């Protein structure tokens, strides 16, 4: 069943790409931002961290693409206790002024968290609730295949360091942004991956303020929580960041 679901997801992605005949002519250009930040974490790791994040987007008259990559690295008393990164890509096509279909894939790797690594591949439908300035709000719902490797406690009854958990998952996503002024913007992103094995919720809220030219400063707070984790692990991790942002237009 899992192989069938994964094959279906890839088939959706290929069919979307095959249908994209005139996208190059309609291309409106890439936009995005790159940031370097410092952060303070709690939960499975408590330390000061340096990190980076990059997100780019492209919109045509019908097609939309977005890609993101982020990473965090930290030491506590001279020893590395945080090393993690995330990758994500999404392709979508507009079917109506406020409705679009999408396919997405995400991967993470965490050297010290409850789960060593994992990925999600799926698709669904998105809806634009608000498009008028100064507020924009989009929501998505869908499903896909999810796999993650749980980090087990030492001396566990199984006698192994980790175990892979696979499941079909439902996905909900909210992307909210509000501009208080031309210089200050608030954003709040929430994602929920629900399955019988584990429900994973991510919420990140932040405020970005322009400094000069293409540079800005951003403060954000990210919360990640699992409904089920291996024994000896925390269910919730948080990370607070303050960083310098370079906007690409």
Domain that holds residue 149: 2-248
In this model, does residue 146 exceed pLDDT 70? yes
Measured CA to CA in angstroms, residue 143 lies from 6, 30, 244 at distances of 11, 28, 35
Three-class secondary structure of residue 43 per DSSP:
coil
Mean pLDDT across 206-221: 95
115-130 and 30-42 as β-strands: parallel, antiparallel, unpaired?
unpaired
Q: What is the mean pLDDT of the chain?
A: 85
Three-class secondary structure of residue 31 per DSSP:
strand
Of the listed ranges 20-24, 50-54, 243-247, the one predicted with least confidence? 20-24
- Contact between residue 218 and residue 54 where contact means Cβ atoms under 8 Å apart: no
pLDDT given for residue 178 in this prediction:
97
Q: What CATH number is attached to the domain comprising 27?
A: 2.40.160.40
Domain count, the chain: 1
Alpha-carbon gap, residue 242 to 221, rounded angstroms = 9
pLDDT given for residue 117 in this prediction:
93
Of the listed ranges 70-79, 175-184, 191-200, the one predicted with least confidence? 70-79
pLDDT given for residue 78 in this prediction:
75
The radius of gyration of the chain's CA atoms, rounded to the nearest angstrom, is: 19
For residue 1, what pLDDT band results from cuts at 50, 70 and 90? very low
pLDDT given for residue 205 in this prediction:
97
The whole model's pTM is what?
0.82
pLDDT given for residue 154 in this prediction:
62
pLDDT given for residue 27 in this prediction:
58
Give the distance, in angstroms, between the CA of residue 16 and the centroid of all CA atoms in the same chain. 21
pLDDT in tens, 89-145: 999 999 998 999 999 999 999 988 889 999 999 999 999 999 888 999 999 999 999
């Amino acid at each position: 069943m899992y192989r069938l679901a994964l094959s279906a997801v890839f088939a959706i992605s290929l069919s979307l790409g095959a249908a994209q005949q005139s996208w190059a002519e309609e291309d409106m250009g890439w936009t995005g931002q790159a940031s370097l930040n410092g952060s303070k974490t709690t939960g499975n790791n408590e330390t000061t961290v340096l990190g980076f994040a990059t997100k780019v987007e492209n919109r045509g008259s019908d097609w939309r693409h977005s890609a993101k990559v982020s990473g965090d690295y930290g030491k506590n008393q001279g020893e590395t206790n945080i090393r993690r990164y995330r990758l994500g890509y999404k392709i979508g096509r507009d079917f109506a002024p406020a409705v679009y279909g999408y396919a997405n894939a995400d991967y993470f790797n965490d050297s010290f968290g409850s789960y060593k690594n994992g990925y999600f591949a799926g698709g669904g439908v998105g809806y634009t609730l608000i498009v008028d300035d100064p507020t924009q709000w989009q929501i998505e719902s869908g499903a896909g295949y999810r796999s993650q490797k749980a980090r087990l406690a030492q001396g566990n009854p199984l006698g192994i360091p980790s175990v892979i958990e696979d499941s079909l998952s439902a996905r909900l996503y909210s992307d909210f942004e509000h501009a208080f002024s031309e210089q200050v913007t608030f954003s709040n992103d929430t994602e929920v991956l629900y399955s019988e094995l584990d429900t994973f919720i991510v919420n990140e809220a932040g405020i970005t303020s322009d400094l000069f030219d293409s540079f800005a400063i951003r403060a954000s707070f990210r919360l990640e929580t699992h409904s089920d984790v291996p024994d000896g692990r925390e269910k919730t991790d948080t990370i607070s960041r303050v960083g310098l942002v370079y906007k690409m237009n």
